[in-house]
């Protein structure tokens, strides 16, 4: 779809004052398809201008046209939200029912929260992996008698980091059998103000509530397929059984950028060489890139050859934080192959994924 023929779609942001909400503002203030029209947050912020309500933490200033917008409650009956075609949600998981209320008001909702990821009619989409799962929203709409509204989720940020290289490997070398992953997760993953400085400075915290279970479960939904008839998901589609995923999650004193150390075994029992694996990762082409979705990165996987890369501080900003970085590809003595991957947890790990998912929905005619 060319920007000259495209009618701008009015969009709202739920949780606009938060860590993910701020990235949405930054990404959408110059977007070729979407125009910011409504901002929502809690009753603590409602009624104030965006600049007054928000502890802005990004290095670029609050876009001028947004600073003076008045934040409202997250309620679909607010007039400005009713005028939107799409809402992007950076809402806390504790208020998941708000997203459902917007969907039932016939709005298209792109959510970052965990609440609906396991729903059998809600797509869980990493845009550079499984955007075609969007087809299931037609069954979701039918189940709720909605003509326009539906809800799409993106994945947990660490899960997003690992599934991009895993998809590339699976397409080239066949179904995966076992994945072992150890994460080193940035502080911004816990939102603002997040983990207290006294807990995280000079320290590593070897526990992030619920994170390991999310990685272990979500990986199978994302790498699975959709059922015949597009009315659900098949967690086992890629192989004879689900992938055995075992995760250890750690919080580390990094501001942005989650790192994951991953070991993989394939079902076939045949070990690909390190050079074959590198070639496959480098050559991986995602559909959203081929379709020209405006926020999709030129390379979905950036392969690093230097021994000490990827590093969050040095690598996370490439392609506006929309790529997964992979390095240290080597043979694994226990499983088949191992590598290190890293992504910007607030961009590809959250806001950017929602935006690319919405771009794909526009290009594929799922948003009028």
Ligand X SMILES: NC(=O)C1=CN([C@@H]2O[C@H](COP(=O)(O)OP(=O)(O)OC[C@H]3O[C@@H](n4cnc5c(N)ncnc54)[C@H](OP(=O)(O)O)[C@@H]3O)[C@@H](O)[C@H]2O)C=CC1
Q: Which residues are catalytic?
A: 157, 258
Which token pair is 124?
A: 């869980």
Our CB check for ligand PHD shows the closer of 114 and 271 to be 114
When asked if residue 183 is in the footprint of ligand X (CB under 6 A), the reply is no
Residues near 365 by beta carbon (within 8 Å), at least 6 away in sequence: none
Assigned token pair, 121: 């009619």
Q: Which of 42, 49, 250, 311 binds ligand X (CB under 6 A)?
A: 42
Applying CB under 6 A, does 75 fall inside the site for ligand X? no
Q: Is 313 left (phi over 0), alpha (psi -120 to 50) or beta?
A: alpha
Q: What are phi and psi of 182, to 5 degrees?
A: -120, 125
Binding of ligand X by 259 (CB under 6 A): no
Nearer to ligand PHD, 139 or 208 (CB): 208
**26, 45, 185, 300: which one binds ligand PHD (CB under 6 A):** 185
Q: Is 191 in the site for ligand X (CB under 6 A)?
A: yes
Instruction: Please tell me whether residue 17 binds ligand X under the rule CB under 6 A.
Output: yes
Establish if 21 lies at the interface with ligand X (CB under 6 A): yes
Q: Which two tokens stand for residue 238?
A: 């890629």
Q: Which of residues 58-117 bind ligand PHD (CB under 6 A)?
A: 93, 112, 114
Contacted by 211, from ligand X, ligand PHD, none: CB < 5 to 8 Å by type: ligand PHD
| Cα separation, 237 vs 255, whole angstroms | 37
Task: Tell me the closest approach of the beta carbon of residue 218 to ligand PHD, in angstroms.
Answer: 8
Q: Rounded to the nearest whole angstrom, what is the least distance from the CB of residue 347 to ligand X in the complex?
A: 9
Q: Please select the residue that binds ligand PHD; options are 214, 221, 316, 347, rule is CB under 6 A.
A: 214
What does the alpha-carbon distance between residue 144 and residue 42 come to, in Å, rounded to a whole number? Answer: 27
Whether the CB-CB separation of 162 and 183 falls below 8 Å is answered with: no
12 binds ligand X (CB under 6 A): no
The nearer residue to ligand X, 214 or 304, going by C-beta atoms, is 214
Which of ligand X, ligand PHD, none is residue 108 near (CB under 5 to 8 Å by kind)?
Answer: none
Residue 237 is encoded by which pair of tokens? 């589609």
Residue 86 and residue 149 in contact, taking contact as beta carbons nearer than 8 Å: no
Any contact of residue 211 with ligand PHD (CB under 6 A)?
yes
- For residue 345 the two structure tokens come to 């947890």
For residue 90, state whether it binds ligand X (rule: CB under 6 A).
Answer: yes
- Within 8 A by CB and 6+ apart from 359, the residues are 33, 288, 293, 294, 295, 296
Q: Which of residues 105-144 bind ligand X (CB under 6 A)?
A: 112-113
Binding flag, residue 257, ligand X (CB under 6 A): no
Q: Kindly calculate the radius of gyration of the chain based on its CA atoms and give it in whole angstroms.
A: 20
Q: Tokens standing for 66?
A: 């947004």
CA 337 to chain centre: 25
345 lines the binding site for ligand X (CB under 6 A) = yes
Matching residue, tokens 């290095």? 59
- 268 counts as binding ligand X under rule CB under 6 A: no
Name which of 70 and 190 has its Cβ closer to ligand PHD. Answer: 190
Q: Is 248 in the site for ligand PHD (CB under 6 A)?
A: no
178, containing H or E segment = strand 176-185
Q: Examine residue 208 and tell whether it contacts ligand PHD (CB under 6 A).
A: yes
Within a 10 A sphere around the Cβ of 219, how many other Cβ atoms?
25
Give the one entry of ligand X, ligand PHD, none that residue 353 binds, where binding means its C-beta sits below a cut-off of 5 to 8 angstroms depending on kind.
none
Question: What's the rounded Cα separation, in Å, for the pair 78 and 75?
Answer: 6
Nearest-approach distance from CB 350 to ligand PHD, in angstroms: 7
Is 189 a residue that touches ligand PHD (CB under 6 A)? yes
Is residue 295 classed as helix, strand or coil in its secondary structure?
coil
For 163, the 3-state DSSP assignment is helix
What residues line the site for ligand PHD (CB under 6 A)? 93, 112, 114, 156-157, 185, 189-190, 208, 211, 214, 345
Q: Which parts of this chain interact with ligand X (CB under 6 A)?
A: 15-21, 41-42, 44-45, 74, 90-93, 95, 112-113, 157, 188-189, 191-192, 345-346, 349-350
């Amino acid at each position: 779809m060319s920007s000259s023929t495209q009618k701008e779609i009015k969009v709202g942001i739920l949780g606009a004052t938060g860590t993910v909400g701020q990235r949405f503002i930054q990404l959408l203030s110059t977007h070729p398809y979407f125009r910011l029209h409504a901002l929502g947050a809690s009753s603590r912020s409602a009624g104030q201008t965006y600049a007054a309500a928000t502890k802005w933490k990004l290095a670029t200033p609050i876009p001028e046209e947004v600073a003076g917008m008045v934040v409202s409650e997250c309620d679909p009956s607010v007039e400005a939200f009713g005028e939107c075609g799409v809402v992007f949600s950076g809402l806390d998981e504790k208020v998941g029912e708000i997203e459902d209320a917007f969907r039932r008001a016939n709005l298209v909702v792109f959510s970052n929260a965990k609440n609906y990821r396991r729903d059998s009619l809600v797509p869980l989409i990493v845009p550079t992996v499984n955007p075609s799962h969007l087809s299931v929203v037609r069954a979701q709409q039918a189940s709720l008698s909605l003509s326009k509204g539906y809800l799409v989720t993106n994945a947990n940020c660490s899960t997003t980091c690992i599934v991009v290289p895993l998809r590339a490997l699976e397409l080239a070398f066949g179904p995966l059998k076992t994945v072992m992953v150890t994460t080193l997760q940035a502080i911004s993953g816990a939102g603002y103000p997040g983990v207290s400085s006294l807990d995280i400075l000079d320290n590593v915290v070897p526990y992030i509530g619920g994170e390991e279970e999310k990685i272990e479960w979500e990986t199978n939904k994302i790498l699975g397929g959709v059922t015949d008839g597009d009315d659900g998901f098949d967690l086992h589609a890629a192989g004879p059984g689900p992938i055995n995923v075992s995760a250890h999650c750690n919080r580390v004193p990094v501001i942005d950028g989650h790192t994951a150390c991953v070991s993989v075994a394939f079902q076939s029992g045949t070990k690909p060489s390190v050079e074959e694996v590198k070639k496959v990762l480098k050559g991986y082409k995602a559909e959203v890139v081929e379709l020209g979705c405006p926020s999709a990165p030129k390379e979905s996987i950036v392969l690093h050859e230097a021994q000490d890369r990827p590093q969050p501080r040095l690598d996370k900003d490439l392609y506006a934080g929309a790529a997964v970085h992979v390095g240290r590809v080597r043979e694994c003595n226990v499983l088949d192959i191992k590598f290190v991957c890293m992504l910007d947890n607030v961009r590809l790990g959250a806001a950017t994924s929602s935006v690319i998912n919405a771009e794909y929905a526009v290009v594929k005619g799922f948003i009028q």
